[in-house]
């Protein structure tokens, strides 16, 4: 019979590889934070309370572009919306008598990777297992971002530009596998690139800020994809 300490140690073990990966990816995110004018401490705090690569990168990009507060808030909400679904799924994995404070703590750091190892936990999910993984994942992400800001201040401009490409590589690693599996996804990715480019060039949209354009395109393309290409129930359960 394992106790809380055993589950916590198990989470630490399984979360360590995630933390190392986070550190590397967050380093390139720190370059984006540096361009947006964040100090190492500010970047550390941002990543500590918002452990989400897409959401943070969108926020840093909008801040760099001079977007308003509401644009940053809405775009971050849209970019991180999938975590709401992950949290709902994990809530079904917990024992019915799991304290609310534990549920809230788990919901605080539902990233793709933490969700993956938590949902794969055999039987009911033990909160202390997830807490263990979070204990190394969050510091790895936060310190990586902060160090990225520091290195962005001392490295030559060419080196900073080269390192900043790493984050785009991470996004490509996210969309390419799914695009290879589905022609629909591949087509939507191509359409997104094209529409985004046109939106940045069309004179009729010149009066709309970059942040508002990003929000509108994200919502419109996602809604169109959901209506035109709905996912069948059988596809969702692996049938």
Do the beta carbons of residue 45 and residue 162 sit within 8 Å?
Answer: no
Model pLDDT, residue 236:
40
What span, in angstroms and rounded, lies between the C-alpha atoms of 61 and 99?
Answer: 38
pLDDT in tens, 177-197: 777 888 888 888 888 889 888
Q: Which two tokens stand for residue 216?
A: 């509108």
What span, in angstroms and rounded, lies between the C-alpha atoms of 88 and 194?
Answer: 34
What span, in angstroms and rounded, lies between the C-alpha atoms of 132 and 8?
Answer: 4
Q: Is the pLDDT of residue 239 over 50?
A: no
Give the residue-averaged pLDDT of 9-31: 87
What span, in angstroms and rounded, lies between the C-alpha atoms of 128 and 6?
Answer: 9
Do the beta carbons of residue 137 and residue 24 sit within 8 Å?
Answer: no
| DSSP codes of every residue in 21-68 | HHHHHHHHHHHHHHHTT--HHHHHHHHHH---HHHHHHHHHHHHTT--
Give the residue-averaged pLDDT of 105-130: 88
Do the beta carbons of residue 230 and residue 222 sit within 8 Å?
Answer: no
- Encode burial over 27-52: b for 16+ CB neighbours within 10 A, e otherwise: bbbbbbbbbbebebeebbebbeeebb
3 state SS of 7: helix
Name the least confident of 102-106, 175-179, 187-191, 234-238. 234-238
**Residue 156 confidence class, pLDDT cut points 50, 70, 90:** low
Model pLDDT, residue 189:
84
Q: For a pLDDT cut of 90, what percent of the chain falls above it?
A: 19
123: left (phi over 0), alpha (psi -120 to 50) or beta: left
Model pLDDT, residue 129:
93
Q: Which two tokens stand for residue 227?
A: 């209506």
**Residue 152 confidence class, pLDDT cut points 50, 70, 90:** confident
Residues recorded for the chain: 239
What span, in angstroms and rounded, lies between the C-alpha atoms of 168 and 235?
Answer: 29
Q: Is the pLDDT of residue 175 over 60?
A: yes
Give the residue-averaged pLDDT of 66-76: 83
Do the beta carbons of residue 129 and residue 121 sit within 8 Å?
Answer: yes
Model pLDDT, residue 217:
78
Q: Which two tokens stand for residue 98?
A: 């799991």
pLDDT in tens, 74-101: 888 877 777 887 788 788 889 989 999 9
Model pLDDT, residue 54:
76
Which residues 6+ apart lie within 8 Å of 59 measured at CB? 46, 50, 72, 75, 76
Model pLDDT, residue 8:
94
Give the residue-averaged pLDDT of 201-208: 76
Q: Is the pLDDT of residue 235 over 50?
A: no
């Amino acid at each position: 019979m394992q106790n809380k300490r055993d589950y916590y140690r198990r989470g630490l073990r399984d979360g360590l590889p995630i933390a190392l990966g986070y550190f590397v990816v967050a380093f390139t995110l720190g370059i984006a934070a540096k361009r947006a004018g964040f100090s190492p401490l500010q970047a550390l705090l941002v990543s500590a309370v918002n452990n989400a690569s897409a959401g943070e990168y969108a926020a840093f990009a909008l801040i760099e572009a001079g977007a308003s507060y509401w644009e940053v808030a809405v775009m971050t909400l849209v970019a991180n919306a999938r975590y709401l679904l992950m949290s709902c799924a994990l809530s079904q994995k917990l024992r019915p008598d799991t304290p609310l404070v534990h549920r809230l703590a788990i919901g605080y750091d539902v990233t793709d990777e933490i969700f993956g190892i938590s949902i794969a936990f055999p039987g009911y999910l033990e909160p202390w297992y997830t807490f263990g993984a979070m204990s190394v994942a969050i510091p790895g992400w936060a310190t990586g971002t902060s160090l990225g800001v520091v290195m962005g201040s001392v490295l030559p401009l060419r080196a900073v530009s080269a390192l900043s490409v790493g984050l785009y590589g991470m996004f490509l690693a996210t969309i390419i596998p799914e695009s290879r599996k589905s022609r629909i996804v591949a087509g939507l990715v191509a359409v997104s690139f094209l529409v985004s480019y046109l939106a940045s060039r069309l004179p009729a949209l010149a009066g709309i800020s970059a942040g508002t354009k990003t929000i509108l395109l994200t919502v419109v393309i996602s809604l169109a994809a959901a209506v035109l290409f709905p996912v069948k129930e059988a596809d969702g359960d692996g049938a």
